[in-house]
Amino acid sequence: MIALGKIQELIVVRKTPIGLYLNIGTGGNDSAVLLPKNQVSPGMEIGDKITVFVYKDSEDRVIATVNQPKLTVGELALLTVVDTTKIGAFLDWGLEKDLFLPFKEQLGRVQKGNSYLVGLYIDQSDRLAATMKIYKMLSCDSPYKVNSRVQGTIYQINRELGAFVAVANKYHGLIPNQELYGVYQEGDRVTARIKKVRTDGKLELSLRENTVNQIEIDARKIMEHLALNNGTLLLNDSSHPNQIKAELKMSKAAFKRAVGRLLKEGAIKLTDNGIERMW
């Protein structure tokens, strides 16, 4: 059976002035799909096997193409928005007809020119469409271990939980709010450390290094801020966590660990208002 939204090998069963008709090789024409004339290469003959992708054209007809799309049904890919309309957005997926992303399948605000991680599915009208709601399309069976460095795409941001990440665009990942430093949006690519592999296989991520390495990074950041502020920084143990996060992009606990390291090294001293650089 010819599968919509899939790359498959079909057989030429009939030649016509408008192109070649292909099917799975049963010999009949009832279930044949057209490969348009502009897609036909010289020398293609009846009985030849051709690898094609099957979709629907702008007139809603099932059609074959030898061009490779950027994703197929059940897969995920980062696609760019080429247009937004009152009914949804349209994405570039490598074919002549852009891929439709309905409003109801969008997460957050979709903007023209931005790229978003989407999946491909067949809707109730038997048409191919994109969705940003990819949670159920991700796997919990990842090969990664704690402290592995991974890359992924943020596909949803939840104010209460954090940023949901498709690790390697395949596996479930979450950056909890307490580990989310900086401003991010759907479609952003991130590099993260696996902080925990949950019993269900989902990955808890951190944008920061493990504690030992991170102290060194945070201490260096504090010294850089001191250099930019004439050797003083108006932050100390009494500072609110949000103030520290806004200034240094780190938690209060991380700030205290880094300050402790710098005090031990004699690089800074504490004052009534904050800290000062010693050298």
Domain contains 1: no
Instruction: Let me know whether 145 and 85 are in one domain.
Output: no
Question: How many domains is the chain built from?
Answer: 4
Q: Which of 65, 90, 115 represents a domain boundary (last residue)?
A: 65
- Distance between start and end Cα atoms, the chain: 75
Distance CA 196, CA 143 (A): 13
Instruction: Let me know whether 105 and 87 are in one domain.
Output: yes
pLDDT confidence of residue 181: 74
Domain contains 34: yes
Instruction: Let me know whether 198 and 222 are in one domain.
Output: no
Instruction: Let me know whether 256 and 218 are in one domain.
Output: yes
Contacts of 67 (CB under 8 A, 6+ apart): 39, 53, 94, 95, 96
Entry pTM: 0.71
pLDDT confidence of residue 211: 62
pLDDT confidence of residue 137: 93
Domain contains 71: no
Instruction: Let me know whether 270 and 219 are in one domain.
Output: yes
**Cβ proximity of 71 and 119 under 8 Å:** yes
Whichever domain contains 161, its CATH number is 2.40.50.140
DSSP assignment, residue 87? Answer: S
pLDDT confidence of residue 209: 66
Owning domain of residue 17: 7-65
Instruction: Let me know whether 169 and 194 are in one domain.
Output: yes
Distance CA 48, CA 106 (A): 41
Helices (H), 121-265: 211-228, 241-248, 252-265
Domain contains 107: yes
Domain contains 254: yes
Nearest CA to 259 among 248, 275, 246?
275
Domain contains 238: yes
Domain contains 70: no
Q: Average pLDDT of each block of 10 consecutive residues along the chain (279 residues)?
A: 92 93 70 91 91 91 94 93 95 95 91 94 93 94 93 92 94 91 85 93 86 77 89 89 86 86 86 84
Instruction: Let me know whether 177 and 230 are in one domain.
Output: no
What residues pair up with 270 in beta bridges, in sequence order? 275
Domain contains 267: yes
Instruction: Let me know whether 47 and 28 are in one domain.
Output: yes
Distance CA 107, CA 116 (A): 10
Distance set, CA 160 to CA 163, 177, 252 (Å): 9, 7, 19
pLDDT confidence of residue 30: 56
Strands (E), 113-188: 115-122, 128-131, 149-158, 162-167, 171-176
Instruction: Let me know whether 202 and 237 are in one domain.
Output: no
Distance CA 247, CA 254 (A): 13
pLDDT confidence of residue 255: 87
Whichever domain contains 235, its CATH number is 1.10.10.10
